[in-house]
Amino acid sequence: MLTNIQCKNALCPAGEKRARFADSGGLYLEVSPTGSKRWFLKYRINGKESRLAIGAYPAVSLVDARLARDQAKAQRRDGVDPVAARKAKRAELAGVPKVEGVTFRAVALEWYGNQVAGWSDTHAERCKRQLERDLFPLLGDRPMASIQPMELLDAVKLVEKRGAIETAYRVLTVAGQVWKYWLPTAGPAQRNITEGLVNRLTPYRGKKFAAIVDPGRMGELMRAISAYKGGLIVGTALRLAPLLYQRPGNLREMEWAELDLDAATWTIPSAKMKRTKAEKEHGEPHVVPMPRQAVALLRELQPFTGRGRYVFHGERDHQRPISDNSVRSALYALGFGKEQSWHGFRASARTMLVDQLNLDHLAIEANLAHAVKDANGRSYNRTQYLKQRFDQIQQWADYLDRLAAGAEVIPMPQRVA
């Protein structure tokens, strides 16, 4: 750290363009060949180095420079770029409308800070990554009011060029949320420049998971699964995937403490479900009824993994569950990887439970943990469908057994609306 004497006696060596004398926390004193001395703060924002001019020495003393450094670092902790904040302040003092100095980065970070508490960790991380990787490099330091629609489109098109078509739509959605957040303070002349830009993006129809819905082909798959020669742990997970049709992440992270084999229920904690952060913290658990076939499979596995936490623990590390690639690889090994994905068992069940077994779609959605509304617009209570769901899932397991046995299954008549 510098002292007042060192600052006073600091000189630039002959032949050098400048000399820098470091204090602490990125603060340094820069001395020119003419003897002028200025304070600067070096910091990084979004991976790029920047510096803030604090003032000339001795007009700005060592103590004052350190105070300015601490204030700037406090701004950084709040997500504010000190240089951008200073430019905005100068514009305001010069009589320029305040909105002109507000950068996209500052507004976006303020919006993100206000929203993140209600998001899941995964969504928050993805949103922040889209801002920092896809929007800030081109638009971050630009005043909101000066950004034109085609400039924003250019940034989104760069995402498209790397083949991330779905991400491009998400990036544009994030930008739209930032503009909606900013508009109430922007003045009557401003508008949401993201409107209409979606029509200029490459069409995206969404990602569909491969899923077999033909009874005959499903029977072939079930016979192949029954003949699987791999390890017991992955083999059991593979057999349970079509029976329970829950999300792959929930199945592979199934814990023995979540199971009541006598009651034939699997209770997934709310924190593990695909929900917002608030719903994860305060929501009800998802109760999954299990057919007799699933209970039998779990009882067979219990002597091997029942003393640990996870039902399907990893081969090398018993403190971690099997990987997301385990069942997927097994499906490819069986020759069905391109036709049936792990997640696709949900679509298979959803389709065939209605088309082939003609069962109540609301109870099906409840078992899938989908939040839908009934005909009166009310969001249903999943627990009200537990008995129907027990009946449904047993009918589904028995139906899969019949398909595996090669029995002819005649589609039920469709219910008249």
pLDDT at 92: 55
Q: Which domains can be identified in the chain, with CATH numbers?
A: 4-77 (3.30.160.390), 98-200 (1.10.150.130), 215-404 (1.10.443.10)
DSSP conformation class of 197: G
Distance of CA 261 to the CA centre of its chain: 33
Q: Is the separation of the CB atoms in 266 and 390 below 8 Å? A: no
pLDDT at 377: 46
CA dihedral 312→313→315→319, nearest 10 degrees, is: 180
Q: Is 191 helix (H, G, I), strand (E, B) or coil?
A: coil
Angle made by CA atoms 18, 22, 28, in degrees to the nearest 5: 70
Q: Is the separation of the CB atoms in 82 and 70 below 8 Å? A: no
- In angstroms, the CA 131 to CA 124 distance is 11
State pTM to two decimals. Answer: 0.56
- In angstroms, the CA 141 to CA 50 distance is 12
Tell me the residue type at 226.
S
**pLDDT tens string for the chain (417 positions)?**
899 999 999 999 988 889 999 999 999 999 999 889 999 999 887 667 888 899 899 988 999 999 999 998 888 887 777 877 776 666 555 544 444 468 999 999 999 998 887 787 788 899 999 999 999 998 999 999 889 999 999 999 999 888 888 899 999 999 999 999 999 888 777 889 999 999 998 887 666 788 999 999 999 999 999 999 999 999 999 999 999 999 999 999 999 999 999 999 999 998 888 776 667 777 788 999 999 999 999 999 999 999 999 999 998 889 999 998 999 999 999 999 999 999 999 999 999 999 999 988 888 888 888 765 555 444 445 455 788 899 999 999 999 999 999 865 555 444 443
Tracing tokens 């199934």 back to the chain, one arrives at 254
